[in-house]
Amino acid sequence: MDKYRRANQNLWNEKTAIHAKSDFYDVEAFKAGKSRLNHIELEELGDVNGKSLLHLQCHFGLDSMGWARLGARVTGVDFSDKSIALARELNTELGLDCEFVLSDIMELPDKLSGQFDIVFTSYGVLVWLPEIKRWGEVVGHFLKPGGTFYIVEYHPSAMVFDMESKKPELRATYPYFHSTEPLLFHAGGSYAEPDATFEQAEQFEWSHSMGDIMNALIDQGLHIEFLHEYAYCDWQMFPFLEKRGDYYHLPEGLPKVPLMFSLKATKHE
């Protein structure tokens, strides 16, 4: 295991315990039946009842189990052993039938067999992947001919802006295009717990352009059905975003830029 993946795995192991207690995830409400799936993915992915679904980078599985409650036969995957352990515990407690696999995405074909009707991934996943082309290969490997791939994710162009400045401005700080070496950040705070602190002091992320993401899928024989872009976000990506309804929006006076995107593709039969 390389030093980057080891550091990120340690960080996500720490995050699991913190996130499980957070209001953001609200595990008790989930146990009582509340879904964490947003209307975007529910509407765009559609009916999953009776379908096999592979959830890549599932964290501790609340969204995986949300799809299972809607009738999907779900397999969730994550590289954090603490996340997978908690997912399995919750799955048993709730009497659901999900399978959870501990694996780095890049190594998943060596640890999981079969193909799926749906491959799904969402919200803050791609920056943790060093190779987007390999990611596309994994998606293609596990997707049945005629099957559906779906992602809803933070827009690569939004990831170039400074996320810490409280001044209401969009200031380009980070690269848009991919580089071999990762971006180094000092871990502190979390989207679920802004004041959280971590023993793992460093985290490593990679930029992937929209073109690279789409081409990684096209290269595997997937047909892009749609690409949607949204000028709002499901968490407070920038301190000055304003919550309106279920989402966070840029304040008036700032140019509207895409903060999230969704993409649906099918694999040629």
Residue 27 lies in a domain: no
pLDDT at 146 over 80: yes
Residue 148's domain spans which residues?
3-18+47-267
Q: Is residue 256 part of a domain?
A: yes
* CATH code for the domain in which residue 217 is found: 3.40.50.150
Two tokens at 247? 């989402």
Q: Is residue 64, in this structure, part of any structural domain at all?
A: yes
Let me know if residue 42 belongs to a domain: no
Helix axes 62-69, 81-93, angle to 10 degrees: 30
Whether 104 is covered by a domain: the verdict is yes
Beta strand extents in 26-165 (DSSP E only): 52-56, 73-78, 99-102, 116-122, 143-154
Inside any domain, residue 28: no
Mean pLDDT computed over 85-105? 98
Instruction: Note whether 184 and 177 are within 8 A (CB).
Output: no
- Residue 127 within a domain: yes
The answer to whether residue 31 is domain-embedded is no
φ, ψ of residue 194 in degrees (nearest 5): -60, -25
DSSP 234: S
Q: Report, in angstroms and rounded to the nearest whole number, the Rg of the chain calculated over CA atoms.
A: 18
- Please give the average per-residue pLDDT across 42-55, as a whole number: 98
The structural domain count of the chain equals 1
Q: Which residues partner with 223 through β-bridges?
A: 266
pLDDT classification of 45: cutoffs 50, 70, 90: very high
- C-alpha 80/C-alpha 263 separation (Å) is 26
pLDDT at 33: 97
pLDDT digits (tens, 9 = 90+) for 25-43: 999 999 999 999 999 999 9
